[in-house]
A and B are shown apart, each in its own frame.
Chain A
Amino acid sequence: MTRSAAPLTQDTTARERLEPALHALLTASDDDERATLARLREELGAAAWRTGVTDVVYTTVPSPVGPLLVATTARGIVRVAYEREDHDRVVTALAERVGPRVLRADEPLAEAASQLEQYFAGELRRFDLPLDLRLAAGFRREVLDQLTRIDFGRTLSYAEVAMASGHPRAVRAVGTACARNPLPVVVPCHRVVRSDGSTGQYVGGTEAKTTLLALERSGGTTAGSR
């Protein structure tokens, strides 16, 4: 009787006393409400972004290699993730490593989404987006810097990237840096292949890597002939 001060997750007792209609109000969710919430949510994310109250804003964009999660901070694009990396886990990791004020919104990422779309259509050879490389430090960061210098449609071997970053023996470390690239596609780790010419591993799976390399080979000629 006098146990009402107990934690309020035990709302079952409260529910038991409710009229069915009131209970329905608590649990029912119709299409109108879902649509309203989706709209409010987008507006919230965009408003929070404009007023600088967010740590990270993310969205997902469709692509030929599956939906990509794209996340930005005030500094720039901080994360691109393949679906196989598990988007929920990626969002949680962003909250832990960048900040907890993570919101989903399309508008702040409209330019990034547009450039990705153009890239996958073979119409964009170089991304022009501010990047936030805070998720890669030390040697991994140096490797990413090298990767941004590999042009559209070209490839280098892991050994060549190691050489270019001034650590010719760090071939394995280059492989690790590529595998843990926080910005795949935008920072083109897919352009690093094995010395024997085979594709090699990829954060998005070898199939995705093959797709991107093929797209750049054909997309390069298409774009070049325009």
Chain B
Amino acid sequence: MGTSRIPLLERLPHVQPFDRLVTDHGALVLRVCRATVGATDAEDAWSETFLSALHGYPELPPDTNVQAWLVTLAHRRSVDLLRRRARQPVPTDRLPDRPSPDGAADSSAMDADLYRELGRLTERQRLCVVYHHLGGLPYREVAALVGGTEAAARRAAADGIKALRATLLVTEGAQR
């Protein structure tokens, strides 16, 4: 690609209008935010995620995986937001292994059960499940966000999925 570039052609490197990122990834980012900061703060986290993405967008390298980039920004903005709310510093690189207070509060959406169950996981499990299974980040990148090793992130996600499977299957069975 680099070899065929014509220097005189004044094209900006990012031909994809930012708007299209919002169309393509807006729903996913909202779900990630709901799962990380809870339904109440999800909208603020969503807005802050896309505003900071907008700032960085012109300098974003063309081969960036946009979804992974947005999920990473969503994580950082969520941590900022929780820190402000709690007025209690939470280091970005090491999240406490305890259930979060606001976890994933009920949403009126059809996924209410799942969000509630996600909220019952430890914070580390929840983030590992959400960033890997929802956000599509490989465990190496999940570990970079939540701290610890890649293997630990994989284990936390597996434990989280196991817990979800147990509770959700029981709930489903009970409804029938």
Contact = CB atoms under 8 A, between A and B. Distances in A.
B110 interface: yes
A100 B14 contact: yes
B67 interface: yes
A41 B67 contact: no
Given A5-B138, A8-B65, A19 B161 contact: yes
Interface in B16-31: 16-20, 22, 26-28, 30-31
Contacts of B15: 92, 95-96, 100
A53 B54 contact: yes
Given A8-B136, A8-B138, A17-B133, 12 more contacts: A7-B65, A8-B67, A19-B165, A24-B110, A26-B28, A32-B109, A44-B50, A48-B51, A48-B54, A53-B51, A53-B55, A95-B17
A4 interface: yes
B26 A26 contact: no
Interface in A3-53: 4-9, 11, 14-15, 17-19, 21-22, 24-26, 28-30, 32-33, 36-37, 40-41, 43-44, 47-48, 53
B138 A4 contact: yes
Contacts of A7: 65
B140 A5 contact: yes
Interface residues of B, number: 51
10 contacts: A4-B150, A9-B65, A18-B133, A21-B114, A24-B114, A33-B27, A37-B27, A44-B22, A92-B17, A103-B54
B168 interface: yes
Interface of B: 11-12, 14-20, 22, 26-28, 30-31, 43, 46-47, 50-51, 54-55, 57-58, 65, 67-68, 108-111, 113-114, 129, 132-134, 136-141, 150, 154, 161, 164-165, 168-169, 172
Nearest to B15: A96
Nearest to A26: B134
Among all A-B residue pairs, the 3 with the closest Cβ atoms: A102-B17, A100-B14, A95-B17
Interface string A193-208: 0000000000000000
B138 A40 contact: no
Contacts of A48: 51, 54
Contact of B30 (A8, A11, A24, A40): A40
Contacts of B136: 8-9, 11, 14
A68 interface: no
A70 interface: no
A2 to B, nearest CB: 10
A45 to B, nearest CB: 8
Contacts of A53: 51, 54-55
Given A11-B136, A19-B161, A36-B30, A30 B47 contact: no
B27 A101 contact: no
Contact of B140 (A4, A26, A33, A92): A4
Contacts of B47: 40, 43-44, 47
